[in-house]
Amino acid sequence: MVAEKLKIGDTIGVIAPSEPIIKERKESMLKGIKIFEDMGFKTKLSKNIYNNEHGYSASIKSKANDINDMFSDKEVKAIISAVGGDNSFNMLGLIDYENIKKNPKIICGYSDATNYLEAIYAKTGLITYHHGEVVDLVRKIEKDFHLGQFKKVLVDGKLGNVDHNKPYKCLKEGCAKGIIVGGNLPSIVTLLNTEYCPDFNDKILFLEVYSRSTDFSLADRYLGVLKYHGVFDKIKGLWIGHYHADTDDIKIEDVFMNNLKEYDFPILKCDDFGHDCENIVIPIGSKVKLDATNLNVEILSEK
């Protein structure tokens, strides 16, 4: 199931199902909203976006209500996460998935948003989109690339070869086709063995790791969890995103390869999705071709 693409002049709904919008986050969010408005879009804040009932977060009910209301709101044509965090997982059971099936819309985010992007795809079949959050826009160095990707995919409906902002690297040669799923590594681990987890059979998996919350050692553990749950026995290819704490001595790709030596699926590394970088748009649930040998990913179809 694919939602209609955006048109200039459409209304974008902004939600915050993870960390609360307080202090400097509010200022960054409002600046990010201004960027979307300067592109020609209208914006609408969710009813509970400033709620912080628990002192560290809005309530589970408030967060879920905001997602449900945005999908019901006929004025809103797309939904974007304002900021990341750690606890959007807790509200997955309160999302009205039947309502989403009746009112399919673009929904995008990344990081902790992986939880509800993957849950919505798993429960409804709706294509969801891995892309940056509203507060990120004021920190992007190359805004033209980041916002250009938003327009190309979510407005113009671009398919085909994924644009490269930085060079790609082949970690294991090969080429594979399949449906793409994934996102933030700890969030994918959180979804394991729940009804909200994607089916990994014959999938192309993409993963990114946030260096400020997940160091090399913790990333190693999370990869071990996926390994012992059989995830890497099921997938057909792996695409690894940006990690900001790479050094000359150790890189995130080394941590991945330490865990994946025995597998023969193609593995591709890039710096074009994840934290602290400009993001391409990855349609979760679309059919892709991952060609690690020739350093390319192609979006074949969103249907």
pLDDT in tens, 5-38: 999 999 999 999 998 898 878 999 999 999 999 9
pLDDT in tens, 13-22: 999 999 889 8
227 and 282 together in one domain: yes
* Average pLDDT for 97-110: 97
Gap between the terminal Cα atoms of the chain: 7
pLDDT at 140: 59
Rounded Cα distance, 158 and 151, in Å: 9
Indicate whether 262 belongs to any domain: yes
Domain of 119, CATH number, reads: 3.40.50.10740
Clarify whether residues 147 and 199 are in a common domain: no
- Quote the pLDDT of residue 283: 98
Q: Is the pLDDT of residue 117 over 70?
A: yes
> What is the extent of the structural domain holding 35?
11-154
Predicted local confidence at residue 23, as pLDDT: 81
In angstroms, rounded to a whole number, what is the distance separating the alpha carbons of residues 69 and 84? Answer: 20
pLDDT of residue 141: 55
Residue 137 pLDDT:
83
Q: Report the number of distinct structural domains present in the chain.
A: 2
For residue 236, give the nearest of 286, 187, 185, 291 by alpha carbon: 291
Q: Which of 129, 154, 179 is the last residue of a domain?
A: 154
Model confidence over 162-196: pLDDT tens digits?
999 999 999 999 999 999 999 999 999 999 999 99
- Considering 133, 154, 175, which residue would you say is the last residue of a domain? 154
Show the tokens assigned to 6.
């955006």
pTM higher than 0.85: yes
| 132, pLDDT greater than 80 | yes
Closest Cα to residue 152, out of 179, 129, 176, 126? 129
Long-range contacts (CB closer than 8 Å, 24 or more residues apart) made by 63-69: 63/15, 63/16, 63/17, 63/88, 63/91, 64/17, 64/91, 64/94, 64/95, 65/94, 66/15, 66/16, 66/17, 67/15, 67/17, 67/91, 67/95, 67/116, 68/94, 68/95, 68/96, 68/99
Average pLDDT over all residues of the chain: 95
Say yes or no to pLDDT of 45 above 60.
Answer: yes
Mean pLDDT of 35-59: 92
